[in-house]
Amino acid sequence: MAISTYKIHLQAKFMAKQMNINDFKGGPCWCSRFMKRKNISVRTRTTVGQQIPMDWQDKKASFVKYVTDITEKKNSSITDNKHG
């Protein structure tokens, strides 16, 4: 569920009014302390459908080569240690 400090502020003001608490301000500091007490965090949404880079094939090939090289070095190191 998407939540924002603005929504928290509005809901708190609404609830205070229902409870006849007329001097409630619910400012930014109050909201921050409330979120900390309730372990609530507000994060930026991740966008879906991000564009694939034009050079994605080159990046993929480079990554595969990198992983292959590391794997070969690791395997070579293990083999050398067994026979050494």
pTM of the model: 0.47
Structural domains of the chain, count: 2
Query: Does the residue 34 lie in any domain?
Result: yes
Domain that holds residue 61: 54-83
Average pLDDT over residues 73-79: 73
Concatenating the DSSP letter of every residue in the chain gives ----HHHHHHHHHHHHHHTT-TT----HHHHHHHHHHTT----PPPPSSPPPPTTHHHHHHHHHHHHHHHHHHHHHHHHHHHH-
Query: Does the residue 9 lie in any domain?
Result: yes
Residue-wise pLDDT tens digits, 19-70: 999 999 889 999 999 999 988 888 776 667 778 889 989 999 999 999 998 8
Q: What is the pLDDT of residue 82?
A: 63
Residue-wise pLDDT tens digits, 2-14: 788 899 999 999 9
